[in-house]
Structure 1
Amino acid sequence: MIRPLVSVLAICLLAACQREAPPAAPEESASTPAAQAPVATDQAAPLELRVTTLDGSEWDLAAQRGKWVVVNFWATWCAPCLKEMPELSALGAMREHVEVIGLAYEEIEPEAMRAFLQKHPVLYPISIVDVYAPPAGFDPPRGLPMTYLVDPQGVVAEQYLGPVTAQDIERDIAAAGGPAVPVADTSSGA
């Protein structure tokens, strides 16, 4: 009789220790496809990311504190990845508070990647990461592209599965308390 009572008590205690469900997400706008919707994340501690870029430089996420960082997992064979690259490049170049790093998630030789980037240039650093041992702190991508928006303290603010636009990223930065992008006034007839 005591053994079943202990089992029931243990189940009740374990059920009480489960995490609360995250609050319901607001309805998506009609302009944001489901593939671009942020994926919930439980990341609370600052991430660590140290990689060697294609040009031989060391890139460290900790050195980017104070800025928003876009960590983009991609591959040369991924059509949606190639489509978003110019926009991510422009975002990183035009916004002082945003840094972008591309993590090539595929088995490719550095020379082949350099040749690819001659045809598809970007202004942000690229690092080839091991598909069997992705950077610690990041889950292996469930699909490509997979993009993380890391806040100025080094904590994941948003995670996107599928293509993401600069507008999506800037909207989420502003929603998280970062700088908003001024909207140009097109109503005047000047």
Structure 2
Amino acid sequence: MISRLIAAVTLAFAAVPALASEAMPELKVTTLDGKAFDLAAQRGKWVIVNYWATWCVPCIKEMPDISNFVKSRKDVTAIGLAFEDTDVADVKTFLEAHKVVYPIAQLDPTEPPKDFGAPKGLPTTFLIAPDGHVAKRFVGGVDGKKLGDAIAAGK
């Protein structure tokens, strides 16, 4: 399963250009609780778009940091994108043990969101500015300090 995921990520990433800082990507997904998430509806807030997987140790490590950061700021929201070929029930079970305050959607690694594409590695986090442009892309783990510094630099 992991080799299939790696092949899908490699193939999908090769077909998608890197996001420019001025890009205003679209993202419409259905969260695991059945609600619609539309990135455009989040305008006016900083949005953390976080690609992760249940088997990714750095992803698991950063989830509480992202959750705490979102809880501490009224001007920030987040969406977690579970990027793996796993049963939805398994992802939900994982989230029972690793609770977060932001919604989670599961993506098919063979069909990543057009404007974001497949991540180069996991975790990958995009920080979207209140006007909708990509302010920063992080490949690797993030924490509240990195996120806060990026927001301060983008104001």
- TM-score with structure 2 setting the length: 0.86
Structure with more contact order per residue of length (Cα contacts < 8 Å, sep ≥ 6): 2
Identity of aligned residues (%): 49
1:92 aligns with 2:70: yes
Among candidates 84, 89, 92, match of residue 111 of structure 1? 89
User: What is residue 135 of structure 1 aligned with on the other side?
Assistant: 113
State the distance in 2 between where 1:158 and 1:60 align: 19
Superposed CA RMSD: 1.2
Identify unmatched segments of 5+ residues in structure 2. 1-17
SS of the residue corresponding to residue 131 of structure 1 reads: coil
SS of the residue corresponding to residue 167 of structure 1 reads: helix
State the distance in 1 between where 2:133 and 2:59 align: 23
1:140 is displaced (CA, Å) by: 1.0
Greater helix content:
2
Tell me the amino acid that sits aligned with residue 108 of structure 1.
T
Among candidates 143, 146, 160, match of residue 138 of structure 2? 160
Identify unmatched segments of 5+ residues in structure 1. 1-39, 178-190
State the distance in 2 between where 1:115 and 1:144 align: 20
1:63 is displaced (CA, Å) by: 0.7
User: What is residue 61 of structure 1 aligned with on the other side?
Assistant: 39
SS of the residue corresponding to residue 80 of structure 2 reads: strand
Q: Is the 8 A contact 1:80 1:162 kept in 2?
A: yes
Tell me the amino acid that sits aligned with residue 94 of structure 1.
S
User: What is residue 99 of structure 2 aligned with on the other side?
Assistant: 121
User: What is residue 151 of structure 1 aligned with on the other side?
Assistant: 129
Q: Is the 8 A contact 2:19 2:116 kept in 1?
A: no
Tell me the amino acid that sits aligned with residue 93 of structure 1.
K
Q: Is the 8 A contact 1:41 1:158 kept in 2?
A: no
1:41 is displaced (CA, Å) by: 4.9
SS of the residue corresponding to residue 103 of structure 1 reads: strand
Query: What is the CA deviation profile of residues 67-92 of structure 1, one whole-angstrom value per residue up to 9, with x for unaligned ones?
Result: 00000000000000000000101111
1:43 is displaced (CA, Å) by: 3.7
